């Protein structure tokens, strides 16, 4: 006899990103090339559309579907990303460059950040924003506050000289 049904199925986390894209089949292919995603399954929707698909990236799942009338809209339809996905990886330089080679655009170049991560930001060909990072240093709250103030002061100076 089977045991009780789990409220959160094995292999899933409490929160799972769900992307709506224009051309889910192409998006799945891109995520495989860019982020080493594994396609777990897909359910076909109306002709030429994917009603639901699930991918595995690292230890996390991402769900996605094609944009369809009356439902959620893709970044292409709204004119930009409405959120983003943050990926922690072992080697951010390799992962970042692989995604760029696969067709992602650099939004923010990789750099060591005041909070202890080596971090950069990309946009995929479907309009979604991806942040990639490798955690390099645990930073105490007081030290992070100091570093943030220095970083914000540098940003203010750059903004002044750009005007």
pLDDT(54) > 80:
yes
Q: For residues 69, 105, 56 and 86, what is the CA-based torsion angle, rounded to 10 degrees?
A: -100
Give the angle subtended at the CA of 34 by the CAs of 31 and 38, to the nearest 5°. Answer: 45
**Count of CB atoms situated within 10 Å of the CB of 26:** 12
| Cα-based distances in Å from 124 to 78, 108, 149 | 15, 13, 31
Structure tokens at 94: 């390799």
Query: How confident is the model over 75-130, as pLDDT tens digits?
Result: 999 999 888 999 999 999 999 999 999 999 999 999 999 999 999 999 999 999 99
Grade residue 163 by pLDDT with cuts at 50, 70 and 90. confident
Q: Kind and range of the H or E element at 40?
A: strand 38-44
Instruction: Write down how long the chain is.
Output: 163
- Mean pLDDT on 12-40: 96
Domain 18-162 CATH (choose: 3.40.50.620, 3.40.50.970, 3.10.180.10, 3.40.640.10): 3.10.180.10
Rounded Cα distance, 163 and 146, in Å? 27
Q: For residues 64, 68, 74 and 79, what is the CA-based torsion angle, rounded to 10 degrees?
A: 170
> What pLDDT is stored for residue 51 in this prediction?
94
pLDDT(50) > 90:
yes
Query: How confident is the model over 1-25, as pLDDT tens digits?
Result: 577 888 888 889 889 999 999 999 9
Structure tokens at 56: 């595995």
> What pLDDT is stored for residue 1 in this prediction?
59
Q: Kind and range of the H or E element at 62?
A: strand 60-66
Order of strands across the sheet that contains 84-88: 84-88, 129-135, 117-123, 105-112
> What pLDDT is stored for residue 34 in this prediction?
98
**Domain boundary assignment for the chain:** 18-162
Give the angle subtended at the CA of 89 by the CAs of 94 and 105, to the nearest 5°. Answer: 55
Rounded Cα distance, 40 and 118, in Å? 30
């Amino acid at each position: 006899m089977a045991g009780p049904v789990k409220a959160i199925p094995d292999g899933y986390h409490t929160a799972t990103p769900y992307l709506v894209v224009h051309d889910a089949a192409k998006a799945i292919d891109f995520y495989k090339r860019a982020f080493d995603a594994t396609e777990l399954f897909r359910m076909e929707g109306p002709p030429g559309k994917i009603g639901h698909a699930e991918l595995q990236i690292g230890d996390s799942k991402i769900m996605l579907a094609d944009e369809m009338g009356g439902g959620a809209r893709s970044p292409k339809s709204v004119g930009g990303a409405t959120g983003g996905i943050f990926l922690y990886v072992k080697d951010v330089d390799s992962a970042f460059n692989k995604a760029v080679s696969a067709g992602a655009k650099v939004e923010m170049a990789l750099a060591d950040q005041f909070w202890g991560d080596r971090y950069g930001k990309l946009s995929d060909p479907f309009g979604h924003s991806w942040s990639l990072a490798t955690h390099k240093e645990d930073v105490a709250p007081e030290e992070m506050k100091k570093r943030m103030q220095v970083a914000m002061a540098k940003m203010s100076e750059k903004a002044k000289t750009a005007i």
